[in-house]
């Protein structure tokens, strides 16, 4: 009879799976960026055919729609994680111990600070 799976092992597997899913989505997003960039290069055909106004309008639409979609996504993600900062902060390792002596204390705060810095960058880019 086999023993039940170790919860720590299951958690590590779930983390690895989440990281792999995000990497796959980002790879697909990169692929779509390349396709979009390639399609946008084809717009120069309109200018060489004497229709520069068409290229201008299509390029403007492309960039406006891309910025709007990106902005909406970043705002959604920023709001989602900013709302969770308090809960995330309470996940600090070593609750009840002298925090500086708790295993993982420094790594946790380094990661938490990184998330806060990224959220600030997203906020600034959303304003600009």
Residue 113, Cα to own-chain centre: how many angstroms? 16
Report pLDDT for 13.
Answer: 95
- pLDDT (tens digit per residue) in 62-75: 999 999 999 999 99
With 90 as the cut, is the pLDDT of residue 127 above it? Answer: no
The pLDDT assigned to 101 comes to: 66
Q: Is the separation of the CB atoms in 66 and 117 below 8 Å?
A: no
Overall average pLDDT of the 33-60 stretch: 95
pLDDT in tens, 80-111: 999 999 888 887 776 666 666 667 778 888 99
Query: What's the DSSP call for residue 17?
Result: H
The SS3 call for residue 127 is helix
> Torsion-angle region of residue 50: left (phi > 0), alpha (psi -120 to 50) or beta?
left
Neighbours of 46 (CB within 10 A): 17
| Residue whose pair of structure tokens reads 């070593």 in the numeric block | 94
pLDDT at residue 1, rounded to an integer? 64
Reported confidence tier of residue 7, pLDDT bands at 50, 70, 90: confident
CA-angle at 125, arms to 61 and 115, nearest 5°: 135
User: pLDDT confidence of 35, banded at 50, 70, 90?
Assistant: very high
């Amino acid at each position: 009879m086999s023993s039940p799976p170790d919860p720590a092992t299951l958690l590590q597997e779930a983390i690895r799976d989440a990281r792999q899913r995000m990497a796959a989505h980002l790879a697909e997003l990169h692929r779509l960026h390349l396709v979009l960039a390639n399609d946008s290069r084809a717009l120069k055909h309109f200018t060489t055919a004497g229709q520069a106004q068409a290229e201008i309008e299509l390029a403007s639409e492309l960039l406006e729609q891309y910025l709007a979609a990106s902005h909406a996504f970043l705002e959604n993600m920023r709001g989602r994680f900013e709302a969770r900062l308090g809960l995330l902060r309470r996940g600090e390792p070593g609750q009840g111990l002298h925090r500086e002596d708790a295993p993982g204390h420094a790594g946790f705060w380094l990661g938490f600070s990184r998330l806060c810095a990224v959220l600030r960058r997203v906020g600034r880019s959303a304003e600009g």
